[in-house]
């Protein structure tokens, strides 16, 4: 006797089962928040990144080695007294950044990081610093500088390698020019001009 129900096409019923399973799994994944993709493209506007702009900042960096409250202290001494460039010395810094050249002028941030003597001919530092800003809307944002600083050159250029906060995705450069230096103590005031692309 023939069945009153049509026999379902086996391929079709297989398809229905797979579709059901797929929906079940994707629903479960969405519900548990699990996602097996490691990386995916994101619309930059979702992060509030609209238009890239170029900004210029100017301030003075105070490297204070003398007195009771130095902001720059040697943490590694050069292994040899023979080097005239103090090759190998490393200083840790927490240097004030001020609007004007005087230490008493408005503080806009601090340069935190370190520099080391990385040159055996001429005094050349490798600088690694985070400029942690405190001024206005930039308060809490940082710019990271990494570069070569031949301190007796008139203008030294170093790279802005990135940043945080308002400086996410930042890139650019700084130009450092010595304003004053006390050759006895090593205390220095350096003018910094930063040109930075950021969103």
**Residues of this chain that bind ligand NAG (CB under 6 A):** 80-81, 134, 139-140
Comparison of 9 and 80: residue with beta carbon closer to ligand NAG? 80
Comparison of 141 and 149: residue with beta carbon closer to ligand NAG? 141
What is the rounded CA–CA span in Å between residue 197 and residue 34?
Answer: 36
Comparison of 100 and 140: residue with beta carbon closer to ligand NAG? 140
- Neighbour count for residue 98 (Cβ, 10 Å): 19
What is the rounded CA–CA span in Å between residue 112 and residue 4?
Answer: 84
**Least distance to ligand NAG, CB of residue 167, Å:** 15
What is the rounded CA–CA span in Å between residue 22 and residue 43?
Answer: 27
Comparison of 122 and 140: residue with beta carbon closer to ligand NAG? 140
Q: Which residues contact 76 (CB under 8 A, 6 or more apart)?
A: 88, 89, 90, 116
Comparison of 68 and 136: residue with beta carbon closer to ligand NAG? 136
**Least distance to ligand NAG, CB of residue 120, Å:** 16
**Least distance to ligand NAG, CB of residue 139, Å:** 4
- Neighbour count for residue 26 (Cβ, 10 Å): 10
**Least distance to ligand NAG, CB of residue 135, Å:** 6
Contact 142, 133 (CB under 8 A): yes
Comparison of 47 and 77: residue with beta carbon closer to ligand NAG? 77
**Least distance to ligand NAG, CB of residue 22, Å:** 48
What is the rounded CA–CA span in Å between residue 160 and residue 128?
Answer: 10
Contact 132, 122 (CB under 8 A): no
Contact 52, 199 (CB under 8 A): yes
**Least distance to ligand NAG, CB of residue 173, Å:** 26
């Amino acid at each position: 006797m023939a069945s009153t129900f049509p026999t379902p096409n086996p391929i079709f019923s297989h398809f229905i089962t797979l579709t059901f399973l797929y929906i079940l799994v994707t629903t479960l994944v969405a519900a548990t928040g699990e996602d097996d993709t490691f990386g995916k493209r994101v619309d930059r506007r979702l992060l509030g990144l609209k238009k890239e702009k170029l900004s210029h900042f100017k301030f003075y960096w105070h490297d204070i080695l003398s007195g009771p409250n130095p902001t720059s202290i040697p943490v590694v001494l050069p292994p040899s007294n023979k080097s005239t460039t103090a090759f190998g010395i490393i200083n840790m810094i927490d240097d004030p950044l001020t609007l004007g050249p005087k230490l008493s002028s408005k503080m806009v941030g601090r340069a935190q990081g370190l520099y080391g003597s990385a040159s055996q001919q001429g005094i050349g530092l490798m600088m690694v610093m985070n400029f942690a800003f405190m001024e206005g809307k930039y308060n809490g944002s940082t710019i990271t500088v990494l570069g070569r600083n031949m301190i007796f050159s008139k203008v030294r250029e170093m790279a802005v390698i990135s940043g945080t906060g308002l400086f996410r995705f930042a890139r650019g450069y700084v130009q450092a020019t010595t304003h004053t230096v006390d050759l006895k103590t090593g205390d220095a005031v350096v003018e910094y001009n930063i040109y930075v692309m950021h969103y």
